[in-house]
Amino acid sequence: MPGKLKVKIVAGRHLPVMDRASDLTDAFVEVKFGNTTFKTDVYLKSLNPQWNSEWFKFEVDDEDLQDEPLQITVLDHDTYSANDAIGKVYIDIDPLLYSEAATVISGWFPIYDTIHGIRGEINVVVKVDLFNDLNRFRQSSCGVKFFCTTSIPKCYRAVVIHGFVEELVVNEDPEYQWIDRIRTPRASNEARQRLISLMSGELQRKIGLKVLEMRGNAVVGYLQCFDLEGESGLVVRAIGTACTLDKLSSPATFLPACNSPSKEMKESPLVHPPSHGCRSTHNSPIHTATGSRLTQSFSVSVPTLIYTGMGSGSAGKEGGPFKALLRQQTQSALEQRGGSPHRFCRRREFPFLTLTAFPPGLLVHVGGVVSARSVKLLDRIHNPAFVGIMGNTRSYKLLDWNSFNSDEPETRDAWWAEIRQEIKSHAKALGCHAVVGYSESTSICEEVCILSASGTAAVLSPRFLQEGTVDGSLEQRVEENLPVGCGFCHIPYDELNMPFPAHLTHCYNCRKQKVPDVLFTTIDLPTDAVVIGKGCLIQARLCRLKKKAQAEANATAISNLLPFMEYEVHTQLMNKLKLKGMNALFGLRIQITVGENMLMGLASATGVYLAALPMPGGIQIAGKTPSDGSYEQHISHMQKKINDTIAKNKELYEINPPEVSEEIIGSPIPEPRQRSRLLRSQSESSDEVTELDLSHGKKDAFVLEIDDTDAMEDVHSLLTDVPPPSGFYSCNTEIMPGINNWTSEIQMFTSVRVVRLSSLNLTNQALNKNFNGLCENLLKSLYFKLRSMTPCCLCHVNFTVSLPEDELIQVTVTAVAITFDKNQALQTTKAHAEKSLQRASTDNEELLQFPLELCSDSVPSHAFPAAKEHPESASSNSGTPAAQRAVTVEKASPMGDGNFRNRSAPPCAGSTVGVVKMTPLSFIPGAKITKYLGIINMFFIRETTSLREEGGVSGFLHTFIAEVFAMVRAHVAALGGNAVVSYIMKQCVFMENPSKNQAQCLINVSGDAVVFVRESDLEVMSTQQPAVNCQPTCTGEVTT
């Protein structure tokens, strides 16, 4: 009996009137944990009952503590008939189970009913006493910390990064049980909510166990998802990165907060190869994956190649265009690399990291995006065995709950293992031993399910593989000395044995290593990356009609369409990137959604101009019928429009890279010593540079052939994307490249749109146009709504597409708008410029532009002198000493007017509700996160049978989302926090039946509850008691 859970019910307020006669309520509360239930007294005739109960004590196993939610039900006492339920509160007590997080949960929780929504609030106090040393208990994993944040959390230091953890749990969906026919919708919804809460608890505990086995103490980048597979069940799965984290001591002496992840790392972590066989990915059979791969390089002649990939037997029906080539390459690439990367792969089954930002020095090279998809049938009618049809490896599995229940997770595991295997081999083909920024997703329509996984193939620092030992390989020595800021762009694969056709050039930054002409990644922009100008959100949108079909036929149709979609999405991305005059994509996320009669593809990424990569060539249009004069004219008109757009975009995003010519030698490496070395390398390879420059003439410009109306449409659609209005920037990464002077105002929002497609005989073109219009309009609406915040940037813009019904398209967007200070930007950059002028006085004027554009990139300029001065730190690869970095970061820190404006705002008189900020980012601008209180992972169902009365579908969903926000905020506040970071709405499933006046919606959200302190308050507080930091009330700041 390792734990005692104590609960006290204090009071209620704003309860609904349950007794029409008296306009009052006789409320009491049931407190349930596991199978034990306590009740409070009935508080007669009040809408604001004061129960002030005794402490209800539950003596439970810590395993249960992890799995079970605390369930609080508020009821109205009725002497004659059954008591009426007012609503429930589920409290996840997990945050109380680790020592550093919350110690008590205490506060007002909204009382939630799945039919009526929020009905008043209840004040609850929850405490946990743990008796035993937790580490001895293997069934529970109390003490393992979970973070949704996909970087090392701010007040921690990564000691070891152990690697990938995953788990999934399967159960029958209560909505589809026979009993659902006779119980009320409320009972059914509550059963579902409770089950999912239980399953997530169990899943988290199991993942925790794996982490403990790997000798870790935390999971970072924890992503948990639900697959509502309908009749075949409910899958809860999660992936994450196991780490050993160390809490940085004394928060008061922290480095000033920075605006970008992972800068605070004092020491670089070590990737630790688990010496004990970790039990990860439990030995499910691995089937050859069916997938298609994307890398950053595509040429127009590719489509035919897709077919060759497809034919490769079990290798997959939608195998990537270069599949055959890849297979051959994999071997040779691996042989050549040799050494530690191998060790890395051998040691673990899947060398994946869910992180998108890394401690300095960890990320060495980035290969490109690797992705895999596979189409599966969720089928319980067919034979209970794996059946391969048509040479594919699509799996069929009977999901009979009575006889095969225990078998079920294995199947799902196998599916994912397959996909991961595929990803791994893709990464290998790119000469990479690891995959970073890894994520998995599904799209389900009836019995067809598309499983997708994607990540960025990468080479992680080999020295990180073994603790404390320095690998003496010469190759690594060379890599070590590479200048920070461009190293990650250098190709990890062998130039002579490229896995796919790509244009390589010498790095425009260091002039030493080879870089590709474009780079696609799923990660955030590394903090030390040298970027020119600002970034922007780039989206590729695509629809493909599909015949309605059943089962295998449907799955086949989908798998046939997938490669075309991937290809087109990719082409669109590439074209749009070039149109923006940029050469790299970060945070790429491609979502393929399956519906009854169509497939939708939506890719979002943040385009940037990496200084290390060559200037992108333009886009050239070539007509097929040159004889026609007017046609020719039209083509040239279009060409002009495209050229104009490129020029305009370059101006808009301030992309003015230094002219590449031999006169300008040495890219802006401000450190003289460094530069001299570079100069040497420059002269050594100067003739090569000439050669490469030539290769970047007009001839390799991206050529679009306009041979039919389709192509014409495509080109037109390229040009219809309107740039955001002035004062707005947008990106889907954590931070906007090129903006570093955030002020403290943030506004997180969710916007949902559902449109009904008008006609039944839609063409692909019309569909594309509609979808494009939908997304563009949505963005325009956002810009309009948030116009009062300008200048501001929409960060972490996350689009999700679903096809709830035949003619319905649902797009959900979650993002955060952050204000920044234009004037301060000028000052900061000026300071930068002056500094670099002093340091590199020989630099000519054109080069000065370079440091001007650096966001927080003064890091590289400091890094080297520091490393030289302190040889011991150089050998341990600690990157930049903290103190130095602190100085530079502070300059860029957002101490703008916002702070002062907010502080002068009138104090909230009489309001008892503290402000809780929510953001999808891992940081809060202008503030310092002092404590992580635990993960927030909530699942809600809302149903109505009076849709019209609740304001129609919009009114219904608007209220529901507002309620979800409220419940998240209330839980955070009760934990003692004042913000949620890395917030994400993972699911928003909306179903309506207007004719029956009904609607239902399921929402799943997660994030990290934190305590933050304003930077401006931090100084004051450091002189006072540091304990004050934990008080959420200390930040009475005002969001506007």
Partner 1 sequence: MTSELDIFVGNTTLIDEDVYRLWLDGYSVNDAVALRVRSGILEQTGATAGVLQSDTMDHYRTFHMLERLLHAPPKLLHQLIFQIPPSRQALLIERYYTFDEAFVREVLGKKLSKGTKKDLDDISTKTGITLKSCRRQFDNFKRVFKVVEEMRGSLVDNIQQHFLLSDRLARDYAAIVFFANNRFETGKKKLQYLSFGDFAFCAELMIQNWTLGAVGEAPTDPDSQMDDMDVDLDKEFLQDLKELKVLVADKDLLDLHKSLVCTALRGKLSVFSEMETNFKNLSRGLVNVAAKLTHNKDVRDLFVDLVEKFVEPCRSDHWPLSDVRLFLNQYSVSVHSLDGFRHQTLWDRYMGTLRGCLLRLYHD
Q: Does residue 965 interact with partner 1 by CB under 8 A?
A: yes
Q: Is 424 in the site for partner 1 (CB under 8 A)?
A: no
Q: Which is nearer to partner 1, 16 or 291 (CB)?
A: 16
Binding characters for partner 1, 96-115, by CB under 8 A (x = yes)? ------------x-x-----
Instruction: Return the residues of window 656-675 that contact partner 1 according to CB under 8 A.
Output: none
Return the number of the residue (512 or 544) whose C-beta is nearest partner 1: 544
Which CB atom, from 416 or from 965, has the smaller least distance to partner 1?
965
Distance separating alpha carbons of residues 918 and 936, to the nearest angstrom: 12
For residue 724, is it left (φ>0), alpha (ψ between -120 and 50) or beta? beta
Among 955, 1016, 1026, 1028, binds partner 1 (CB under 8 A): 955
From 616, 531, 535, 585, select the one nearest 849 (Cα to Cα).
531
Is 753 a binding residue for partner 1 by CB under 8 A? The answer is: yes
Among 13, 266, 839, 901, binds partner 1 (CB under 8 A): 13
839 to 663, 677, 828, 843, 1030: CA distances (angstroms): 21, 16, 17, 9, 43
DSSP 783-824: HHHTGGG-SEEEEEEEEEEEEEETTEEEEEEEEEEEEE-HHH
Among 990, 1014, 1029, 1034, binds partner 1 (CB under 8 A): 990
Q: Is 756 in the site for partner 1 (CB under 8 A)?
A: yes
Give the tokens for residue 1018: 């931090």
Are 326 and 493 within 8 A, CB to CB? Answer: no
- Site membership for partner 1, residue 908 (CB under 8 A): yes
Spatial separation of the C-alpha atoms in residues 510 and 491, rounded to whole Å = 13
Q: Give the separation between CA 357 and CA 369, rounded to whole angstroms.
A: 15
CB of 777 to partner 1, least distance (A): 6
Rule CB under 8 A: choose which of 4, 14, 215, 648 binds partner 1: 14
Residue 252: alpha-carbon gap to chain centroid: 30
Q: Which of 153, 151, 144, 155 is nearest to 250 (CA)?
A: 155
If binding is defined by CB under 8 A, does position 765 make contact with partner 1? no
* Least distance in angstroms from the C-beta of 582 to partner 1: 24
The binder of partner 1 chosen from 407, 568, 846, 963 (CB under 8 A): 963
* 247 neighbors 155 (Cβ within 8 angstroms): yes
Pick the closest to residue 157 from 13, 269, 57 (CA basis): 269
Which of 430, 999 has the CB closer to partner 1?
999
721 sits near partner 1 (criterion: CB under 8 A): no
Which of these segments, 131-139, 435-443, 937-945, 951-959, binds partner 1 (CB under 8 A)? 951-959
Find the shortest distance in angstroms from Cβ 908 to partner 1.
4
Report the SS3 class of residue 456.
strand
Phi, psi of 979 (to 5 degrees): -165, 155
Q: Which CB sits closer to partner 1, 696 or 753?
A: 753
Tell which positions 183-222 bind partner 1, by CB under 8 A.
Answer: none
Q: Is residue 974 close enough to count as binding partner 1 by CB under 8 A?
A: no
Mark the segment that binds partner 1 (CB under 8 A) among 4-12, 459-467, 904-912, 927-935: 904-912
The smaller minimum CB distance to partner 1, of residues 270 and 774, is found at 774
Distance CA 307, CA 313 (A): 12
Query: Binding of partner 1 at residue 1033 (CB under 8 A)?
Result: no
Give the SS3 label for residue 477.
helix
Q: Tell me which H or E stretch contains 774.
A: helix 764-785
| Cis amide leading into 723 (omega within 30) | no
- Residue 739 interacts with partner 1 (CB under 8 A): yes or no: no
Q: Mark residue 502 as left, alpha or beta (left: phi above 0; alpha: psi -120 to 50; beta: remaining).
A: beta
380 phi and psi, to 5 degrees? Answer: -120, 5
Question: Which of 754, 936, 972, 1018 touches partner 1 by CB under 8 A?
Answer: 754
Query: What does the block give as tokens for 511?
Result: 């002039």
Name the residue nearer to partner 1 (CB basis): 105 or 326: 105
- Quick check: 986 binds partner 1 (CB under 8 A)? no
Q: Does 346 bind partner 1 (CB under 8 A)?
A: no
Distance, C-alpha 527 to centroid of its chain: 17
382 binds partner 1 (CB under 8 A): no
Least distance to partner 1, CB of residue 188, Å: 24
- Binding of residue 749 to partner 1 (CB under 8 A): yes
> CA triplet 353, 358, 359: central angle to 5 degrees?
130
918 part of the interface to partner 1, by CB under 8 A: yes
* Pair 581, 537: CB distance under 8 Å: no
Find the binder of partner 1 among 954, 993, 1024, 1031 (CB under 8 A). 954
Q: In the complex, what is the shortest distance from the CB of residue 326 to partner 1, in angstroms, rounded to a whole number? A: 41
Smallest distance from partner 1 to CB 1007, Å: 11
Q: Does 958 bind partner 1 (CB under 8 A)?
A: yes
Of the candidates 408, 409, 385, 412, the one whose C-alpha atom is nearest the C-alpha of residue 396 is: 385
Shortest distance, position 906 Cβ to partner 1, whole Å: 6
Of residues 654 and 963, the one with the C-beta less far from partner 1:
963
Closer CB to partner 1, residue 14 or residue 839? 14
- Residues numbered 771 to 810 that lie near partner 1 (CB under 8 A) are 773-774, 777, 780-787, 808, 810
871 binds partner 1 (CB under 8 A): no
Task: Give dist(CA 343, CA 338) in Å, integer.
Answer: 9
Nearest Cα residue to 342 out of 473, 192, 438: 473
The identity of residue 242, as a single letter, is A
CA distance 936 to 829: 38
Alpha-helical (H) ranges within 653-743 are 672-684, 686-695, 709-720
- The answer to whether residue 541 forms part of the interface with partner 1 (CB under 8 A) is no
CB of 577 to partner 1, least distance (A): 25
Stretch that binds partner 1, among 568-576, 634-642, 845-853, 911-919 (CB under 8 A): 911-919
Query: 23: which DSSP letter?
Result: T
Shorter beta-carbon distance to partner 1: residue 578 or 969 = 969
Q: CB 98 → partner 1: shortest distance, Å?
A: 27
Q: In this chain, which of 905, 949, 1024, 1033 binds partner 1, going by CB under 8 A?
A: 905
Helix (H/G/I), strand (E/B), else coil: 22: coil
The answer to whether the beta carbons of residues 207 and 164 sit under 8 Å apart is no
Q: By C-beta, is 750 or 1029 nearer to partner 1?
A: 750
Q: Which of residues 674-703 bind partner 1 (CB under 8 A)?
A: none
First-residue to last-residue Cα distance in the chain = 48
Structure tokens at 885: 């970095």
Q: Residue 819: beta bridge partners?
A: 792
Positions in the binding site for partner 1 (CB under 8 A): 13-14, 108, 110, 118, 121, 725, 747-758, 770, 773-774, 777, 780-787, 808, 810, 905-913, 915-918, 951, 953-955, 957-959, 961-963, 965-966, 969-970, 990, 992, 1038-1040
